[in-house]
Amino acid sequence: MIYTMLFPILFPIAAGFFLLVMKEPENRNILIGITGTALLITGISAVYALFHIDGEAVILFRFAVTLPIYLKPDNIGLLFVIVVAAVWILAGFFSFFYMESHHEKRGEGEKRFYGFYLIEFGILVGLGFAGNMITFYVFYELMTLLSMPLVIHTRSRESVMAALKYLFYSFCGAYMALFGLYFLCRYGNTLTFTAGGVLDKAMISGNENLLLIIAFIMIIGFSVKAGMFPLHAWLPTAHPVAPAPASAVLSAVIVKGGVLGMIRTVYYMFGADFIRGTWVQEVWLILTLITVFMGSMLAYREKMLKKRLAYSTVSQVSYILFGLALLQPVALEGAILHMVFHAFIKCALFLIAGAIIRQTGKTRTDELRGIGREMPITMWCFTFASLALIGIPPTSGFISKWYLASGALDSGMNVFYWLGPVILLISALLTAGYLLPLTMKGFFPGESYGYPEKKESVSMLVPIVILSGLAVGFGIWPNPLIEYISGIVSGIL
pLDDT of 200 strictly over 90: no
pLDDT digits (tens, 9 = 90+) for 429-446: 999 999 999 998 888 866
pLDDT digits (tens, 9 = 90+) for 6-64: 899 999 999 999 999 888 887 888 889 999 999 999 999 988 887 777 777 888 888 87
Whole-number pLDDT of residue 104: 45
Other CB atoms within a 10 A radius of the CB of residue 54 amount to 7
Decide if 348 contacts 381 (C-beta within 8 A).
Answer: yes
Other CB atoms within a 10 A radius of the CB of residue 147 amount to 27
How confident is the model over 447-469, as a mean pLDDT? 76
* Number of H-type helices and E-type strands within the chain: 21, 2
Predicted TM-score (pTM) of the model is: 0.93
Whole-number pLDDT of residue 3: 74
Whole-number pLDDT of residue 448: 52
Other CB atoms within a 10 A radius of the CB of residue 64 amount to 8
Closest C-alpha to 39, from 256, 291, 249: 249
329-360 helix and 305-325 helix, angle to the nearest 10 degrees: 170
* Measured distance CA(392)–CA(388) in Å, rounded: 6
CA triple 403-407-410, angle to 5 deg: 140
Peptide bond preceding 73 in cis form (omega within 30 of 0): no
Helix, strand or coil for residue 126? Answer: helix
Say what percent of the chain tops pLDDT 90: 62
* Measured distance CA(420)–CA(285) in Å, rounded: 9
- Single-letter code of the amino acid located at 67: L
Whole-number pLDDT of residue 5: 85
pLDDT of 468 strictly over 90: yes
Q: With cut-offs at 50, 70 and 90, classify the pLDDT of residue 459.
A: confident
Decide if 314 contacts 250 (C-beta within 8 A).
Answer: no
Decide if 176 contacts 221 (C-beta within 8 A).
Answer: yes
pLDDT of 492 strictly over 70: yes
pLDDT of 373 strictly over 90: no
Name the maximum alpha-carbon separation found in the chain.
73
- Return the minimum-mean-pLDDT range out of 106-110, 333-337, 356-360: 106-110
Whole-number pLDDT of residue 455: 65
* Residue 316 CA to its chain's centroid (Å): 10
How confident is the model over 204-222, as a mean pLDDT? 92
What are the C-alpha distances in Å from 4 to residues 50, 144, 323, 388?
10, 25, 33, 35
- Return the minimum-mean-pLDDT range out of 101-110, 198-207, 442-451: 101-110
Phi and psi, residue 304, nearest 5°: -75, 130
Highest mean pLDDT among 71-75, 238-242, 396-400: 396-400
pLDDT of 265 strictly over 60: yes
What are the C-alpha distances in Å from 371 to residues 2, 381, 445?
51, 13, 8
pLDDT of 310 strictly over 80: yes
Whole-number pLDDT of residue 68: 87
Phi and psi, residue 429, nearest 5°: -65, -40
CA triple 389-286-279, angle to 5 deg: 140
Closest C-alpha to 162, from 356, 259, 307: 307
Whole-number pLDDT of residue 162: 85
Q: What is the DSSP letter of 191?
A: S
Whole-number pLDDT of residue 430: 95
Whole-number pLDDT of residue 453: 55
pLDDT of 276 strictly over 80: yes
* Measured distance CA(432)–CA(425) in Å, rounded: 11
How confident is the model over 128-149, as a mean pLDDT? 93
Element (DSSP H or E) covering residue 111: helix 108-129
Closest C-alpha to 337, from 282, 388, 286: 388
Whole-number pLDDT of residue 201: 85
Decide if 410 contacts 328 (C-beta within 8 A).
Answer: yes
396-411 helix and 329-360 helix, angle to the nearest 10 degrees: 150
Average pLDDT over the chain reads: 89
pLDDT of 426 strictly over 50: yes
Q: Could you tell me the sign of the dihedral formed by the alpha carbons of 270, 271, 274, 279, in that order?
A: positive
pLDDT of 303 strictly over 70: yes
pLDDT of 190 strictly over 60: yes
Whole-number pLDDT of residue 106: 47
What are the C-alpha distances in Å from 382 to residues 84, 92, 350?
21, 19, 10
pLDDT of 471 strictly over 60: yes
How confident is the model over 260-280, as a mean pLDDT? 94
Helix, strand or coil for residue 23? Answer: coil
Whole-number pLDDT of residue 358: 83
Q: With cut-offs at 50, 70 and 90, classify the pLDDT of residue 103.
A: very low
